[in-house]
Each structure stands twice: as C-alpha cells, then as structure tokens.
Structure 1
Amino acid sequence: MRFLPPTALLATLGLLAAPRAQAQQYQKNPAGLTLTTDSLTVEIQFYTPEIVRVLKFPKGHEPGKKSLVVLQPPAAGPLKYGEQRGTVQVASASTQVRINRQTGQVSFLAAKGQPLLSEQAGGARFTPKKDLGTATYRVRQRFQLAPGEAVYGLGQHQNGHLNYRGQQVLLKQKSLDIAVPVLHSGKGYAVLWDNYSTTQFADNAAGALFDSEIGDCVDYYLLNGQGTADGVVARYRQLTGQAPLFPRWTLGFWQSKERYRSQNETVGVVEKYRALGVPLDGIVQDWQYWGEDNDFWNDMAFNNPGFPDPQGMVDKVHALHAHQMISIWPSFGRKTKAYQELASKDMLFDFITWPRTPHVKVYDAFDPAARDIYWKYLNQGIFRLGMDAWWMDATEPDQLAPFDTDDDNETALGSFRRVRNAYPLVATGGVYQHQRQVSEAKRVFILTRSAFAGQQRNATMVWSSDVDSRWDVLAKQIPAALSLSLAGLPHWNSDIGGFFPNGEYPKGAKDPAFQELFTRWQQFAAFTPMMRAHGEATPREIYQFGERGSWAFDAQAKFIDLRYRLLPYLYSNMWAVTSRAGTVLRALPMDFPQDPKVTDMGSEYMFGPAFLVRPVTEAQYVNRPDKNVPVPASFAQTKGVDVYLPAGAKWVDFWTGQPQAGGQTVQRETPIDLMPLYVRAGSVLPLGPHQQYTGEKDGAPLEIRVYPGADGEFTLYEDENDNYNYEKGAYATIRMRWNDRARQLTLENRAGTFPGMQASRTFRVILVDAQHGTGVGADDAPAKEVAYTGKQVAVKL
C-alpha cells in the first residue's frame, strides 16, 4: 500500500473520496477525526503536531473521561486528511495517523512515512465487568514493535532491567516499585497509557501489551520525539506539566536516619557537621515527632516531649545555615483532629496501612475537599514554623490488607481499584498547590517514595524506598533510576547505604564491610539529583564511620566536597530540566543511540551533558564470608573495574585529565576514594568554591574547566535561589562556547538580571591537560583569570 505524503493529500481528496455511505463512517473535526466500525468508536485527537491521543470504546458507550495526568488541551494546528483502500489518514506536519476503516486498527508514521508504531490487528479488547456495581470493562491494547527495537521507562522497577523487550512488568504502586505507564522507544517515540488501575505490561512474540484491570475506554497518547529521546521527554512534559525548579540548597548534602528522637539530637547533628567542617545543607526529621502513641499517628504536631520547642529547633537549624525536612504521611491516627474531621465527612479509606492498626486510616486524596483539610492541619502544625521541605512517605499508599478488599474502597472518583496508581499524583499535588497558594517566597520541595505520570509538575523528588543494604541492590538502583528518568520523571535518589542492614553488619558504621558499601553508595549518590544519607538501625552520620584521617571518613568527605564544587553545574542542569524539559540522569541510549553496545547498559550513565559515571557496585576491599567474623579492609592491592566509553565522543578522565577514545572498554583503577568519572570532550564545566553550605561563598571566583577534543558549550544559570521570581523572568544566564580548533573560550553577554546579582565576577579558566596534571586538579592549577562584567569576552587557551 502506498500513501501520498501529507503535503499532497488535500489536492487529491476528490480523487480518493469513498462512496457517500462509506464516508459517513468517520467525521473530521478541528483536532482530528472520529471513526466508527461495526462495534467500535475510535477518536484521534492531535494535541500538538507531535502528540496524538487515541481513544477507543465500544460503540454507543462514550466514556466522557477527564484525565488526571494530561494538562494540555487539544490544539492540533493544520491537519490534512485522506483515504485509500479502506484506510483513513489524518496528518500534521510531523506525524501521520492511519486507521483501518473496518477494524479501527491505528498506525503511526513520521512526516516522511517512516513507521513509528502500529497496533496489532484486533489488538483492542473490552471485557465487560462490574466495579462497585457499575458496568465497566477490563481494557487491553496490543502493539507491534519492530524487530530489535528497544523500549524503556515504565517507572521504577528494581529488577535490573533497562530494556524491557521480552519482559513483563506489573504496574501497581507499592513500596520499591513505581508504576508510570510511559513506554519509551529507542526509535524516538513513546506511548503514555492513560489508565490508573493495576496494569500488566508484557512484551512477547504476540506484541507489546497494556492490560488494565478497569477502564471505560482504551486511552493512550503517541509522543513523537522526532527520533530523539530528549524529544520524547519534551513532548511528555509538554502534555503533562513541566518540572518546577527546586531551591538551590536542596542540591547540597542531606543527613537523615530513622529517626532523631529529640530536637537536641536533630540540631546537634548539624552542629557536629559544622564543627567538623564537613558540608551540610539538609537535616531530616523522620516520624514520631508527634509521639509514639499510634492513636496520634501523623498528628502534624510536635506532641513528643523530646520536641518541646519546635519553633526554636527550626530557628536553630536556620541559624546554622541549614534547612529542615519533616516526615508526613497520608494516614492519621484516630485521636488526631485531622482523622476526626475526615471521618466525619467520610473521607477515610477502610484498609490496614502502616503501622498495622485499624485505628490508622488513609485519607481520600482524590477528593479536593479532603486535600484542603490535609493542608489545613499541615499548615497550622508545621509549615507556619518555617519548615523547608516535606518528606511525603508511603504515597502508594502502603497497604497491608488483602488487595482485593482494599480496592473496593470508594473514592471521590469511583473505586480505589479504578484510580489506585494515581494516588501519589493527587496526594503530592495537594501539598504542592496549597503551598504555592500560601507562599511564593519558598519553593516547594517534596521527597516521596511513589510517583505517577505527570507528578514532575508537583515539585517531587522520588526516592527508591526502603531498599536493603546489599551490593546487588546498589547495582539495581542504576537502571531503576534511569527507567524512571526515561519515563519523564527527572528527579530521583536513594538511601545512601540502603535502608535495611538486616543484621548483616553487627558493628554498624564501624563494620568495614558496611563502610565499603556505604562509601561506594555515597559516591554514586553524589551524581544523582539528591545526595542523602538515611537508614534504619545503623547511624549514617559521617563521624560514625571514624575520625578525619580514617579511610571511610576521608573518602566520604571527598565526595561531599566534590558535590559542593559541582553546584554551579548542577543548578544550571536543574534549570535545563525546568526550562527545556531536560534530563539529568541520562541512560546512555539517550546520548549514543547509534552505539549498539549501550542499548541495554544499566551500569553506567550520563549525569548531565558532561559526566560519564560508572559506579562501583561490588565489594573490592572487604571480603567477609561470615558476617560474624570481622575482617579488616585490605588496600594492599588496588582493584579496578571495566568502563565502557561510548562511541561517538572522545573522553577525558576526570581525575587525571588523560584523554581516551570512545568505542572501547578500559580498565580503571578504583581505590576506595575514587569512582570512575569521565568527561565528554568539548565540555565546559563550571566548578564552585569549597564551602560548608550552599551560598556561603557566592562571591568567590568560579573555576571554568575546558575539556579539549571537540567543540562544546555550557549555559551557566543563576537566580535568587529560593523563590518563584524566576517564573517572572528574574534570572540570568551566561553562555560559554568552546572552539576547539581556535582553542578559544567565549563568554557571551549575560542575558537577564535578578535582585542581588553580581554585576562583575572573576572566572578562573583552566584547560584540562594530563601532561600538566590538571584533571580534577588542585586549587593552584594553571589558570587564566578573567574579569567578567557581563559583556562578551574571549579567552585564548
């Protein structure tokens, strides 16, 4: 079958028109068309030229669905229509959609007719069922993927997979698993399956299947990234909402544990870090600050006698130039005021959740009035104190009763069965929206362990839940994080060292085996969007591991300090996430789609545009066959790991400045204080000063490191760091361009301004050169000092 390109369709409509009776089977509309077969209605709606919605439902059963995920309305722009040999086509300038008039089967093609994705013939199925007495369906749609096509995303599933071809994944929110029904293809498109019930994804010889427990329709979006992974993510964010900018201080180091039992202990941790000279920006107050009686569970008030002056605690933390986050839950004990008000309005679910008592119940976050009540108590009891951030735990929510009876709970939007996967979206959205209404001076920051499509718009940072303290678990964090990122959610982190030691380390932080695991995990965490130590039983503060001069302390301090030096690079990349739908945690296929060796590589990743990161995920210096036999760490022989340097770029060892060709595997030595890091040639890398907290030395010179071997550029972003004035244009950028042949770095004219901006500043420009030892280098590395006043200046190196 041959189709004319979209530019020729209108001119030929008269020649291709079907008989009148056949033409009545579909109707054109400004956003697409509606086609009806003998048993099925198919609606095609263009939201942009690259975003197409497909809605299918049994004939005569129009669902009238309102999406919880999608924000953008249809806005197709010019469309062209045509038909030929029983197939109808509607096309934008970049995306063609073809529908079989007899079966309703849909296929997608790029502008020039290159196939993107096709449904299987007869791939849509509707199985009638009852849900709380209401007639509905189990809905299924099967697609045909191309041979060798890699698919990614689907949320966070800690199974070690990056490419989900030939795999099955249960999309059902629970601790450790995050269900995000976005399937991201290596061909540069994605499918957003807009359904909120438990869904089985499976790919096999029969095709790729989405099979949802409840749905009134098949409802999905084709996101045409026009051949690039970044294009896919941009279309997803355009459709479901952009990610707001976090406060700059959230990029510093966070300390936490389960749990600090008094305000003196909480403040004392910050004081200890300051006394040691180890950088710190965030301290976390975990649960039971409300008291240990579960009848007062999550009271959103400091009833615990260990916290007699919560306002004084927050003020002391702020006086130490740190910030505080606090744990909050979606459930309430029966003696809390929130429980009593929610119960009086029938806004509580009837299932057992943590802490395993029938007197603690989860609230119905699908009800906007219930979200108002939740914020009322949160604001009165905690936010008014000046609390800086929220740790929204158990936003699945974590259920302990049989799932079939839990699903029979009625929500404001129908059964819990129908909407369960979207609970974290609406729960975090309630807090985000209410805080925005109360204050524009403090940016919202929410740490949460569950997520759904669209949740990036709620200022959420996802963490990988209460993972075990094991090497194999550490290794699986990498593809889990990358999968979530490929599904469009940019912000992820994990508990450094794992949450549950499970008795494996009887000496805790003094155990060499745990010290090695924790140190390697922390190195990985330094190259994730949030660097946060947390865990149960074993304390995680740096001073628990020994004194300065001991290997564990020094290796950890080195990477905390490196994290702070990277703040200009990190904050600028976070701005790219917000302003350009960017991605910080980048699976290698995003940047090197032509290199087949990285198609399913989940052991390495790019961190922003510059860094190739290869975490060490196996024990190298402590080998303990029996957990009860203490074995000292042996550094007699330096170990190493294999690192693959992707083809299509040249690379520079961050630590030594040594250049390396791409497309090869190298053996990199890994002493305990070093994780393999390579910088893409052509990178322009801004480094900040050594400091104890974010903003301590904002007036200090910035170091600009140039990695030769290719042309490149970087845009430095700056603003007021913790308010929403940037949304009104209060920020500044400096574009830095490197011409490799001319050996010239050009600092372009500053664009924009904001209150408190430094009118002039000093840059120390360094050309990285292995011969002169300017890899990561010392502070006295050879540099050219540049006095920058906002006007373009060129620097020859």
Structure 2
Amino acid sequence: MSLNVSRLWWNWEYDTDLYPTWDKFVQDLRDYYGVRTLSYINPFLANVSTKSDGYRRNLYLEATEKGYMIQNSTTNGTSIISSGPGLDAGILDLTNPSTRSWFKHVLMEQVWNANISGYMCDFGEYTPVLADTRFANKSVDPFFYHNEYPRDWATLHHSLRTEIPQVSDAIIFHRSASLGQNRHMNLFWAGDQDTTWGVNDGIKSAVTVLGHMGMSGFAHGHVEIGGYTTTWDSFGIVNRSAELLGRWGELAAVSSAVFRSHEGSVPQVNTQFYTNTSTFDYFAYNARMFSSLATYRRRILDTESKPYGWPLLRMPVVYHPDDVTARHISYQSFFLGPDLYVAPVLDPGATAVQVYLPGRNETYTHVWSARTYPGGQSITVGAPYGKPAVFIVGNRKHSDLDPFLKFVHEENSTTIRV
C-alpha cells in the first residue's frame, strides 16, 4: 500500500495555491460565520531551497547567515535535525536576543498578519544535548538548556501580547513543558499519542499525561481526539478505528478544557469524524456532551484553576492521599473538578467498566442510572457507546451541572453505532 505522508514546510508563510487570499479568508470566516481560526508554528526552520512550488522568503537561509540558529561546532554550521524524508531543519537559538527579536517580527509579518485567534505552538523538546552543540550564549550547557528551552519558547510567544492586541485574547497551546513555563501559556495538550488503545503512547497515556501535568501545575489541558501518530507493526498499519475515535471523543468531552480533533499523521488510513454518518453523529454527540459541561468547567477554571493553579482533571490521589488503591490509579479514573468522578472507556469492545470509588465516607451517583454507591469499593457499571461512567460526588452543591444532567436525561435512550 502506498501512503502519502504530507508534511508542512516549516517556513511560516501561507500556501498561495491553497489560500490565495489567506487573510481575507480568515476574516470572512469570523465576520460571516462566527468562526475563529487557529494556525500552527514551531521553532524549526526548514531549508526550502528545493521546494518544488517555490517560496517567497527563505527563513532558513536568513537565519543561517545571521547566526540565529543553534550551531554545531564539529560541522561549524547550523545544527540539523531531521523530521522525516526530505525535511531537514535548524532550530532557533533563543539564547540570542537578536534571534528572538527577528522571529517575533516574522510572526507579526507572516502569521499574525491575518486575524487568527492563536495557534498550536508545537515542539520545543528537540534541543540537542551533544557536546558539540553551541549557543550564542556561550555559558549555556546544552544538557541543562534542553529542559529550559520550552519555557523560553513559550515566553517568546507570550511576550507578543504587548505588541499585538489580538494575542491577549488568543489560545496558544503547547505540548513541551519545563519548570515555570505555565505562567507563560494558557493551554497545553497531552502530545502526539499513537492512534491506538495503548498504555504507553495510546489513548490511555493521554489520561496519564493530563494527570501528571495537572500535578505539575499545568491546569489547562486537553487531549487530541483520536491521537496523531499512525504506526506500523509486523501485521501492517495500526490505524484509527471508528470505535477508538468515538471513545476518544467521549474522553475529551469529560476531561479537557477544549474539544479538538486531529486527522492524524496519515489521514487517509484513519477513520475521521467525517468518514460516514455514524462517525459524524458520534462526534457531534460528544461535542454536545462537552458543551453541556461548559458552565461547570468555567466555574472550576475561574474559581480554582485561575487563583490556585488547580487542574481541571485531578488524579484520585489528590482527594484521597491515604487511600492505597487510589494512589495506584493512573488512567483508569479521575476527578473532573471536585464534583464529578469519571471512568472513561479505554478498551476496544468494552460495554462496561470496572471502577474503584475512593473514600469510604464518600458517595457516588452514576448519572446514567441515578444509582448511588458508597465509596471504598470497586463496582462495574454499564458504559455503552456515548455513556462514559460519570458520577456525581456526594450531594450536588451547584446548579452549574444542570445543563449536563439535562443532556444525560435527553440522551439516555440514544443508541450510538460505530
């Protein structure tokens, strides 16, 4: 089977064939449809000299001539990383104030010139740690700066808010992180999971990442619905099924600060939300479930995340540190704020989940059956498509769960098919 793996040219200018009037297109979407547009950026510059359809400006050559990229003392030139066949690139040297100034102007002239509302601020973790890595700041140790680079990458974009008015209202989300970076960003995502059910880099790992990031002070997180990386094993391509996409959408609806999908690294072999009417209906259903929790999420973000840095998704150990079983839970269940407890379906073919309810003095009401269970035990509840195991913790204290419970009431008889 021949696969067409298509990648961006990291030169940060729009494609004039696909978008001949990019800035007008972005503005028209906002003016006529109320749709706001996100873009994409990363700290790499690709050499576009061989780009078959040409380019307007070769940022790689500009940065090379001015010494704006991380250097390799052995080759006495730009340190090159490869991200696939034919895509070699250099990395911006953020220890150089001139680099930061130059690239900020690139962003203003080539990215923020359209009325976008933010972007995926990708990568940040590729800084080489080799002994022959050289920075403009000669005192920088490559081994240690590797962990500091994501913070400087986020700081650069956050600083644009004083120069570009729309940045103050933008979503700029990251996947790489370092100590202190959370004060310079407003959203992160759990990274590029494989399009699988796996523990180490599939749907289960997305929950683990959100939980650990929350414990590390990154309060605003989300999963990338469906995963990203298509992999191969001895049997062939491991692609995304309709079931995995649907269950991942459920997870996003009850775990994340935003609801965002991705076509994946090889779109043509993966099920998409637009593949057929069933996948479209399942995705729309999950989007409505996410929307029904908007008021509740907003209260948590405003009253707990903003002033205290508490995450939206909370590992069970946060509320029950003395519960030995709760301490060993990683991806199986979590709290969404203080008032909801969730056990997502993360295995193929499963129509029920076993879930541990922490805290012997706590009660949990299963929203789909209205049955209340005491804590300190493991139970099994039904979880057909569209009905992840969600529980109200204790007695409901706020009315902001009303829209969600209305959704549950209206959709309880809905049958989802994949």
Q: CA deviation at 1:442?
A: 3.9
Distance 2:371 2:160 in 1: 51
The Cα shift of 1:606 comes to 0.5
Give the secondary structure class of the aligned counterpart of 2:213.
Answer: helix
Listed one character per residue, the Cα deviations across residues 698-746 of structure 1 (whole Å, up to 9, x for unaligned) are xxxxx478xxxxxxxxxxxxxxxxxxxxxxxxxxxxxxxxxxxxxxxxx
SS of 1:323's equivalent in the other structure is coil
Q: Is the 8 A contact 1:565 1:687 kept in 2?
A: no
More strand by share: 1
- Give the drift of 1:460: 4.2
- SS of the aligned residue for 1:465 comes to coil
Equivalent residues of 1:338, 1:374 under 8 A apart: no
The answer as to whether partners of 2:292 and 2:403 remain within 8 angstroms in 1 is no
Q: Which residue of 2 aligns with 1:619?
A: 348
- Structure with the higher fraction of residues in helix conformation: 2
Q: Following the alignment from structure 2 to structure 1, what is the Cα–Cα distance between the partners of residues 398 and 257?
A: 17
Q: 1:463: Cα distance to partner?
A: 2.5
Q: Residue 409 of structure 2 aligns with which residue?
A: 777
How do 1:751-790 and structure 2 match up within 5 A?
Answer: 776-778=408-410
How far off is 1:686 after superposition?
Answer: 4.5
Structure 1 residue 396 displacement after superposition: 1.0
Identify which of 536, 557, 578 aligns with 2:265: 536
Corresponding residue to 1:666 among 376, 379, 383 = 379
The residue that corresponds to 2:327 in the other structure is 599
Separation (CA, whole Å) in 1 of partners of 2:237 and 2:35:
30
- Quote the residue 1:556 is aligned against: 283
Sort the Cα spacing of 1:339 and 1:618 in 2 relative to 1 into closer, same or farther, 3 A: same
Matched with 2:68 is 347
Residues 122-145 of structure 1, C-alpha deviation per residue, up to 9 Å, x if partnerless? xxxxxxxxxxxxxxxxxxxxxxxx
- One-letter amino acid of the structure 1 residue matched with residue 19 of structure 2: F
- Change beyond 3 A, Cα 1:331–1:375: same
Residues 467 and 660 of structure 1, relative CA distance in 2, 3 Å threshold = same
Q: Does the aligned pair in 2 maintain the 1:499–1:536 contact within 8 Å?
A: yes
Instruction: Tell me by how many angstroms 1:590 deviates.
Output: 0.7
Q: Are 1:370 and 2:2 counterparts?
A: no
Partner residue of 2:397?
Answer: 684
Distance 2:130 2:387 in 1: 49
Deviation at 1:540, TM superposition (A): 5.7
Superposed, which structure 2 residues align to 1:604-753 within 5 Å? Answer: 604-620=333-349, 639-647=351-359, 648-687=361-400, 703=402
How do 1:213-362 residues align onto structure 2 when only pairs under 5 Å count? 288=8, 297-318=9-30, 319-334=32-47, 336=57, 338-349=59-70, 350-355=78-83, 360-362=89-91
Cα pair 1:654 1:775 within 8 Å, conserved = no
Task: Please state how far the C-alpha of 1:341 moved relative to its aligned partner.
Answer: 4.2
- Aligned: 1:570 with 2:282: no
CA shift, 1:435, in A, is 2.7
Alignment partner of 1:432 out of 148, 155, 158: 158
2:416 counterpart residue number: none
Change over 3 Å in CA distance of 1:382–1:683 after alignment to 2: same
User: 1:640–1:668: 8 Å Cα contact kept in structure 2?
Assistant: yes
The more displaced of 523-532 and 672-681 is 523-532
Q: Secondary structure at the match of 1:543?
A: coil
**Alpha-carbon distance change, 641 to 379 in structure 1, aligned in 2, over 3 angstroms:** same
Indicate whether 1:416 and 2:114 are aligned. Answer: no
2:111 alignment partner AA: I
CA distance in 1, matches of 2:146, 2:237: 41
Could you say which residue in structure 1 is the equivalent of 2:415?
A: none
Query: Take 1:330 and 1:427, find their aligned partners in 2: how far apart are those partners?
Result: 8
CA-to-aligned-CA distance 1:57-114 (integer Å, 9 cap, x gap): xxxxxxxxxxxxxxxxxxxxxxxxxxxxxxxxxxxxxxxxxxxxxxxxxxxxxxxxxx
Cα separation, 2, equivalents of 1:435 and 1:375: 11
Per the alignment, residue 146 of structure 1 pairs with none
Answer with 1 or 2: which has the greater Rg: 1
Change (3 A) 1:564 1:397: same
- In the alignment, which residue of structure 2 is the partner of 1:487? 216
Indicate how the Cα distance of structure 1 residues 324 and 683 shifts in structure 2: closer, same or farther if over 3 A, else same: same
The AA in structure 1 aligned to 2:410 is: A
Question: How far off is 1:371 after superposition?
Answer: 1.4
Aligned partners of 2:215, 2:245: CA distance in 1, in Å? 27
- Say if 2:164 is the partner of 1:451: no
Alpha-carbon RMSD across the aligned residues, in angstroms, is 3.0
Q: Deviations over 1:113-171 (max 9, x none)?
A: xxxxxxxxxxxxxxxxxxxxxxxxxxxxxxxxxxxxxxxxxxxxxxxxxxxxxxxxxxx
Cα deviation for residue 777 of structure 1 reads 1.8
1:499-551 CA distances to partner (integer Å, 9 max, x unpaired)? 1233689999xx9x71111111111111222322111223664221x21xx3x
- How far 1:640 moved relative to its partner? 1.3
Residue in 1 that maps onto 2:317: 589
Question: What is the number of equivalent residue pairs in this alignment?
Answer: 379
**Given the superposition, is the C-alpha separation of residues 556 and 358 from structure 1 closer, same or farther in structure 2, using an over 3 Å criterion?**
closer
Does the Cα contact within 8 Å between 1:372 and 1:430 map onto a contact in 2?
A: no
Which 5+ residue runs of structure 2 have no aligned equivalent? 49-56, 71-77, 412-418
Separation in structure 2 between the aligned mates of residue 343 and residue 440 of structure 1, nearest angstrom: 30
Deviation, structure 1 residue 330 = 0.6
Query: Which amino acid in 1 is paired with 2:229?
Result: F
Deviation at 1:466, TM superposition (A): 2.5
Determine the C-alpha separation between the residues in 1 that align with 2:130 and 2:370. Answer: 58
TM-score by length of 2: 0.81
Q: CA deviation at 1:418?
A: 3.4
Tell me how far 1:679 sits from its aligned partner: 1.1
In 2, Cα distance between the equivalents of 1:441 and 1:418? 30
Give 1:476 shift.
Answer: 2.4
- In structure 2, distance between residues paired with 1:308 and 1:540: 30
